[in-house]
Amino acid sequence: MKIEPYANFSFSKGYILLRVFVLILVVILLTTAPGLATQTYSRSDLVRFQNGIIDYRSRINSRFKKRVRSKTRLIIVHTSELGLKSTLRVVSKGKRFKNGRTSPGGHANYVVARNGTVYRILDKKYRADHAGLSMWNGVADVSDISVGIEFVGYHYAPLTAKQYKSAGMLLFILKRFYGLGDKDILTHSQVAYGKPNRWFSKNHRGRKRCAKNFDRVQAGLEPTWPFDPDVRAGLLTPDPMLANVFYPAPGAFVYSGQKVSHTLETDVISQQNSAWTIAGEDYNAPNTVYVLPSGKTLAGHRVASSIGWARLPVGTKVLLNQETKQVREQANSIIKTISGRMTAWSHAGGAYHAASTIYFLPSGRSLAGCVISDWDDLPSGTRLVVGYKGPFNITKHKTAYRIAGVKFKDPKTIYHIPGRGPVQGNKVPDFSDLPKGTGVYLPLAG
């Protein structure tokens, strides 16, 4: 049968329109259907990212025995609870246990710094000793089946936008390489479990608080599991706080991509926050330091014998991975110093990036916390004060007395003297000789 040209044209046009419609439908489904949306990156972006990874493998402890994983089913993210230098040292060289012994290192495959820089600690094919006592979906020792990623930071403080940007690309590469999905990316706090203790009578979830603040949305990931498979199977008892964070009841409100049904936890003991809620199994570790409202400090292993856990006062600050001596020396100091494990967070807590936290760099510059973007690069020796306003600069007509009034000699009045750094008012030898440009900082309270 002869087909007229017009009829043939109509068939071709209809076929093309049908294909266009199907293509649009597929795109809509891929970008809107739950579980189908996938983060994508250009080849040039991925190549640039991979070329930027810093190779740290030569620093691994010589005692660490490399072993290739037989299978990879999960990716576990951690928060290091330390600054960058300490994090790199611990994951490469090892960490100290409660009994004084040290591990041989190899505690992560990758480290992501707060400025977004990624360090390769151990090739992804090797088993990193990162998850410790752990279980997921009935499989014990999660380190055997997972890649470990450490984020420099604390579980009670937000990670940075640069960390999430790097995390998105790193996770994309690892998922594609191992054929994993978003549900295969979990936090250490989700998989770690503990043996019975004073808070739990049975094996329980929640040994670690590590990375409970990890925001999956910012990392370009779909939601986590809707339940804990090991709790549902009766293998473990739940941790109420973590259950509220990861598997909240309907009606819980949302904060930073995670639903929680109560006030966010901080590093301070309150009616809602116990030592366990904040520190997990590290609540009684020698390097967990409790700073009481009075300024007295106690190492975790001395709290029970000193005052008892039930008598820790509200307002006690909890610091992880600290040296007790350093914390004690700094606890009552108005001008605090960043050194070793005493980071900005150790001193200022959640106010580390506030406009009222003032940093005095060794270079002579002074900066408010709200304008600092790269906390890893704050040099050792940087000093800071918390809860201050200023500077009010001394001039020919504006003296220290005109600025601070009768409190111009008070120890809480801080003078940033060019070439000398911050000095308390009671330690200024001669106010008539203060150079022009000296900045005066006054406490917000009092």
Confidence of residue 376 (pLDDT cuts 50, 70, 90): low
3-state secondary structure of 226: coil
Check pLDDT > 70 for residue 252.
no
Angle at 149 between CA 131 and CA 38, to 5 degrees: 115
Residue 437's pLDDT is: 85
What one-letter code names the amino acid at 68?
V
Domains of the chain by residue range: 43-260, 283-329, 333-446
Please count the other Cβ atoms lying within 10 Å of the Cβ belonging to residue 196.
11
Confidence of residue 9 (pLDDT cuts 50, 70, 90): very low
Taken in order 364, 366, 372, 378, the sign of the CA dihedral is positive
391-410 pLDDT, tens digit per residue, is 999 998 899 999 999 999 99
In sequence order, the β-bridge partners of residue 317 are 268, 291
What one-letter code names the amino acid at 87?
T
Residue 378's pLDDT is: 79
Phi, psi of 101 (to 5 degrees): -80, 160
> Minimal CA–CA distance to 280: which of 78, 20, 61, 60?
78
Confidence of residue 40 (pLDDT cuts 50, 70, 90): confident
> Minimal CA–CA distance to 140: which of 199, 92, 73, 202?
73
Token pair, residue 146, equals 């997972």
- Distance, in Å, from the CA atom of 443 to the CA atom of 425, rounded to the nearest integer, reads 12
User: Which stretch of 193-202, 373-382, 406-415 has the lowest confidence by average pLDDT?
Assistant: 373-382
Q: Please answer whether residues 439 and 428 qualify as being in contact, where contact means their C-beta atoms are separated by less than 8 angstroms.
A: no
Most confident of 52-61, 101-110, 317-326: 52-61
DSSP state for residue 158 in the 8-state scheme: P
65-96 pLDDT, tens digit per residue, is 999 999 999 999 999 988 898 899 999 999 76
Burial of 40 (0-12, 13-18, 19+ CB in 10 A): exposed
Residue 17's pLDDT is: 54
Residue 351's pLDDT is: 85
Helix axes 43-51, 161-178, angle to 10 degrees: 110
Percent of the chain scoring above 90 in pLDDT: 61
Residue 125's pLDDT is: 97
142-195 pLDDT, tens digit per residue, is 999 999 999 999 888 889 999 999 999 999 999 999 999 999 999 999 999 999
3-state secondary structure of 64: coil
Confidence of residue 250 (pLDDT cuts 50, 70, 90): low
pLDDT (mean) for 111-133: 96
Token pair, residue 180, equals 């994993």
Check pLDDT > 70 for residue 221.
yes
How far CA 227 is from CA of 62, 190, 247, 258, 294, in Å, comes to: 40, 10, 6, 14, 42
Phi, psi of 227 (to 5 degrees): -155, 165
Q: Please answer whether residues 79 and 189 qualify as being in contact, where contact means their C-beta atoms are separated by less than 8 angstroms.
A: no
User: Which stretch of 99-103, 138-142, 302-306, 352-356 has the lowest confidence by average pLDDT?
Assistant: 99-103
Fold designation for 43-260: Lysozyme-like (3.40.80)
